[in-house]
Structure 1
């Protein structure tokens, strides 16, 4: 029996043996989100915190954990923040080659011991450390509380019973409250990588976040500043059940900034975004636009990045430091803020323009002198004024705050980027440190922020929408590729002159560029004329659209078997059990898009190419008097080129399948025909069928 017939018969059982079941989880059964609340007293109007992210502690890289005490410890002693935020991906959860994902308790013990050593050597209170999960911390965790949920055992949050999905931390002063709200948006069922890339909020969690953010608004006597922290950027956060998202909530509740990690510094060290969301008012009034900033922090894993974020009477500013070479003197100007990327919250009760300079100076050595320099960018950054800064009178407990008065009249009515501020610090060892110069506006004008192409690619594209666009573009292309040739064949075969027309636009007329469109139609029509292969491709595409691609251990090596559909992961219902919800949407894009774009689409096109090459060879054989030796040589090279393309597709297919096997188990994936061996059968069938027809033609 011909291989194409065998392929067709093999596909039929898979077409009829599975019934696609696409049911979502019962939305009304969503459990209430757990919230932990902590309060810390705050003195004065200036507070600051430290953020670290993407530690990826690993047994194979012990230096990452050692540097927590060796490099972060001295930094904490100098900075003395109010709280320390650890925004996810605490452990690496990968093997030495980083090819498989799994939870390893020894990495979590390493984290726990590192935190104990950090607090012991730095003197920082462990109750002021707040950690949340990242996607690596949820790899292979079937559910919270399972035996693989080591975060619930070894994290700092577990020590203080902060195991809810939302952490509300309040720094409370006499008339000001600075709120830090942490969100854990990791998957409820921790699918192993690479199908675990996005944050997954629920509608209930989004509602709870809004309730927590508006809680302090009921107190009109306190000025409130709100910061939200999480692991996933907004661009890598999926929508909730009915399309709900955080962005309008943050805008409506006047959030100043959302800080996160996840993307690592190798993708860019300044991934920042200004969100502008319209808040609907009355139908007759225009929408109110309330902006908030999103600032991603580079990773600790490779670059040892930390962030110092300060709030000065509602004005939010930050400084990112790289501790690869240890902690050096750090200078953070808290007012006036950077007019490009810092956030200024307008106080409706205040009509005064601030006329002060506030600077935080963090240093291991005593500070002898702090001087501010105002530079004029319109005059080649000449120094306009030097302003000595003195230690703040109200900087109790040794707060490293320095301030001075600023003559705002001198800098009024200027553009947001004309005047720049730089601070120069001299320590007791005579070492001078300069801050980066940054523009300011005494009137609170905002300079235009121009993101880099890398920032736009990762931060401004909503990758959930990108996934659906790419997926359905590919599917539409494949459907058109299969259907259009058959429609053309049905129309042209009614015309007895088809063979003459086909001959006129075959390989013998490649020199005539005016016949490109006709040659394209000829390619599509001839490419689909091996009926067995064409019907097999149709059945295979229907299988990919509606039935399971493969099945494997989606959570842990010993966990339940899950099946991956184009629409997400799910377990098929067992006897007496309901169907499970779809999981990992759009996380499956890391598998489905490479397979569709680098295997399926090239495979279908190559089958057409083999079929068209066979037809062209038949034309030349039947019209040998018109065919020169050069055409025969070209035909031979064309065949070799197609065989090389087939080898490339086979190699790509092997790489993708081997990666899937390493991730979800060799045996279950190997017995999944749609992904594992059907593409190889197509290649063999196409090569054999066209070679057999060529031999007959001779």
Structure 2
């Protein structure tokens, strides 16, 4: 058996007295002497490299001095480290004077010799074990925020391949910078177990290999014994050094830590690579106990499925290997079910440590149930960001180009006009139904948005052309030029050109995935969002409603006066984007997205060149102008709702009937024909005007699954008060018609 300690994200900082540097010092002084591991491996982000306000970033020599000096003074075991993205913030190259990892990193020589990959081995009686460390920092490290993803060059990949397949080993551990996600890959049949940070949460991991069974436990510093904020100097900086020596904090007393090695946790088993059959054949429960107390002062209690284990535990290890064991019969648990093993250790001062292990003895593994974390690990995030960006751009190009093929391009384009009329007819047909199902509502929304996009090239040609040109520019041209690496010695090192596909520094291509992250944000939140808003404003859904089926339409008449004409009041409901509060949200959203570009400029060189030489800035100016002064813009005065003229669609019976009523009322007003007492002076042959279009209406009704009652054919006088599907008689000619 052997075990080692893994920790990550130290983030030693001269500006952060809470956690960070002091957690690192407590880890070295109070944890390592108790655990006594074979070695320690630190996977990146050794220093914080951020300023006091966490806006800009640079490498600080004093943070690296604390890191190097603390290891030299207190660490007595092998120490392996590698860089994270914070360790290559604002870094022109490996040979740069500000690459302090090269001079202060404990494994810097190994990283340089292995070109980003190095390995070490352990030989034990049970076999050989290999450990491979990967430095995925980019060749040129921009300042934050565009330095989150790392990548491996082709040479680094070759080095990694050679390290992994050169010789056979019992187990190979690959270590690199990660987070807190855990996942099992059924394709490679391997585990990916990321770890939380030491800087704030005080987390570290102990990994043990017991007869080729790999077990681990994530532990935490005793944060209740550590002050929330450590001491600072007169300048407010964290400087725990005096005369080139560390000023160590007080010792803390961690609770007993327990790591069960047999039976191992079934959630993290690897059936194809571990001898899980040994669990079934084992005779003892085995576990490690790490504590400041002597063995005599420890009280150990074992429970399985909540029941006290009948056999007591005894210490069978040594000062370098704190192993405990208790007899057990694994055949009692061969029921193909999961069981829980609980080990509780109590010290003389009543400090308690507990470990819970879910195990099986039939070699089957249990799902980790990592939720979204498993998806994030299994999906390559850079590929996900690329797909989001490309899909968004492709969708917008299709929405721009399809109307050019299907919408009318000139006055004599009869077929396209018929296509548009048929689309409107289907919208009107849905409007005429009294009870709209969810399916019909969704169908109407799809048809309405289809009409908006089809009308965009003719309705707003400037928007169409500039959006199309801008998307092509994003795909092919550089986005902006900026001072990405301020610490560079020359302009070629400092200034880079940003493409969607990567960055260019002095003619050198850097395929950093952060460009895709920025591109996904810009295309979805800036380009597509404003394209959507402008298209939405192009045509109002209320303008597309059927004239004869207006929601909330009311007909009133003065029954006291026979000469009183009908007053047709149509209640128009405004769209969501016509509301004042929604327009206010549009302004706030535009200001927020514009502030993001200003913030980007504050990171990378200011107004020149980051703002001036940035095509996204000009898109934001255009979109802001369009939202303010374009069609139905925030600053434009709109006609009152009651003065709108609804669209009349050829082939719609309700529109024809509604228009006929209006015509007859105007005729009566002009001719001043008196009405009789019964109100039957108005005669209208409804079928004569709509026979030519009824077939089209019925066809559309059949498509969406309902029929509207048709008017009776033949010429007859209107004896009913509502002869045209609920439309009233006109009983007066004195009042003006109001719509």
Range of TM-score over shorter length: 0.7 to 0.9
2:152, 2:516 → 1: CA distance? 18
Change (3 A) 1:685 1:388: closer
> Structure 1 unaligned runs (5+)?
1-45, 218-222, 232-260, 264-268, 279-290, 574-578
2:541, 2:285 → 1: CA distance? 79
* 1:669 has 2:580 as partner: no
1:608, 1:627 → 2: CA distance? 31
Residue by residue over 1:388-435, the C-alpha shift from the partner in whole angstroms, topping out at 9 and shown as x without a partner, is: 22323xx3x543122344333434x332513x32223343x2536343
1:25 is aligned to none
Deviates most, 477-486 or 49-58: 477-486
* 1:187 has 2:138 as partner: yes
2:485 is aligned to 555
Q: How many residues align?
A: 572
2:10 is aligned to 55
The offset of 1:482, in angstroms, is 0.9
The offset of 1:497, in angstroms, is 6.9
The offset of 1:491, in angstroms, is 6.8
Change (3 A) 1:691 1:432: closer
1:627, 1:534 → 2: CA distance? 39
The offset of 1:601, in angstroms, is 0.3
2:454, 2:23 → 1: CA distance? 64
SS in structure 1 opposite 2:45? coil
2:386, 2:38 → 1: CA distance? 42
1:536, 1:675 → 2: CA distance? 13
Q: 5 Å matches for 1:262-661?
A: 263=179, 271-277=181-187, 291-323=189-221, 324-325=223-224, 326=252, 327-343=254-270, 345-346=273-274, 353-368=281-296, 369=298, 371=300, 373-375=302-304, 377=305, 381-392=306-317, 395=318, 397-411=319-333, 413-418=334-339, 420-427=340-347, 429=348, 431=350, 433-443=352-362, 445-490=363-408, 494-495=413-414, 514=440, 515-529=444-458, 530-556=460-486, 558=488, 559-571=493-505, 579-584=507-512, 586-612=513-539, 630-631=571-572, 634=574, 638=578, 640=580, 643-661=583-601
Residues 505 and 519 of structure 1 are in contact (CA less than 8 Å); yes or no, is this contact kept in structure 2?
no
Change (3 A) 1:150 1:163: farther
Q: 5 Å matches for 1:145-224?
A: 145-158=95-108, 164=114, 165-174=116-125, 176-217=127-168, 224=170
Residues 81 and 106 of structure 2 are in contact (CA less than 8 Å); yes or no, is this contact kept in structure 1?
yes
Structure having the higher Rg: 2
Change (3 A) 1:690 1:506: farther
SS in structure 2 opposite 1:536? helix
> TM-score w.r.t. structure 2 length?
0.69
Deviates most, 679-688 or 76-85: 679-688
The offset of 1:156, in angstroms, is 1.8
The offset of 1:351, in angstroms, is 12
The offset of 1:598, in angstroms, is 0.7
Residues 481 and 614 of structure 2 are in contact (CA less than 8 Å); yes or no, is this contact kept in structure 1?
no
> Structure 2 unaligned runs (5+)?
225-251, 551-565, 644-739
Residues 614 and 694 of structure 1 are in contact (CA less than 8 Å); yes or no, is this contact kept in structure 2?
no
The offset of 1:191, in angstroms, is 2.7
> TM-score w.r.t. structure 1 length?
0.73
SS in structure 2 opposite 1:273? strand
Deviates most, 510-519 or 317-326: 510-519
SS in structure 1 opposite 2:268? coil
SS in structure 2 opposite 1:552? strand
Deviates most, 50-59 or 171-180: 171-180
1:591, 1:626 → 2: CA distance? 57
Residues 256 and 352 of structure 2 are in contact (CA less than 8 Å); yes or no, is this contact kept in structure 1?
yes
State the structure with bigger RCO (CA 8 A, min sep 6), 1 or 2.
1
Change (3 A) 1:602 1:636: closer
SS in structure 2 opposite 1:91? coil
Change (3 A) 1:533 1:322: same
1:69 is aligned to 25
SS in structure 1 opposite 2:288? strand
Residues 354 and 442 of structure 1 are in contact (CA less than 8 Å); yes or no, is this contact kept in structure 2?
no
2:539, 2:42 → 1: CA distance? 59
Change (3 A) 1:334 1:499: closer
SS in structure 1 opposite 2:187? strand
2:111, 2:429 → 1: CA distance? 77
2:267, 2:213 → 1: CA distance? 13
Residues 374 and 384 of structure 1 are in contact (CA less than 8 Å); yes or no, is this contact kept in structure 2?
yes
2:338, 2:279 → 1: CA distance? 23
1:348, 1:508 → 2: CA distance? 68
The offset of 1:295, in angstroms, is 0.8
Change (3 A) 1:226 1:150: same
1:207, 1:500 → 2: CA distance? 62
The offset of 1:160, in angstroms, is 7.8
The offset of 1:629, in angstroms, is 7.2
Change (3 A) 1:695 1:437: closer
Residue by residue over 1:446-476, the C-alpha shift from the partner in whole angstroms, topping out at 9 and shown as x without a partner, is: 3321423232343233212311221122012
Residues 371 and 386 of structure 1 are in contact (CA less than 8 Å); yes or no, is this contact kept in structure 2?
no
The offset of 1:87, in angstroms, is 0.7
2:719 is aligned to none
SS in structure 2 opposite 1:48? strand
Residues 598 and 649 of structure 1 are in contact (CA less than 8 Å); yes or no, is this contact kept in structure 2?
no
Residue by residue over 1:224-268, the C-alpha shift from the partner in whole angstroms, topping out at 9 and shown as x without a partner, is: 33222111xxxxxxxxxxxxxxxxxxxxxxxxxxxxx3x3xxxxx
Residues 126 and 211 of structure 2 are in contact (CA less than 8 Å); yes or no, is this contact kept in structure 1?
no
Residue by residue over 1:582-638, the C-alpha shift from the partner in whole angstroms, topping out at 9 and shown as x without a partner, is: 421x22233111111111001112222333259959x99xx9x9996743x837971
2:82 is aligned to 132
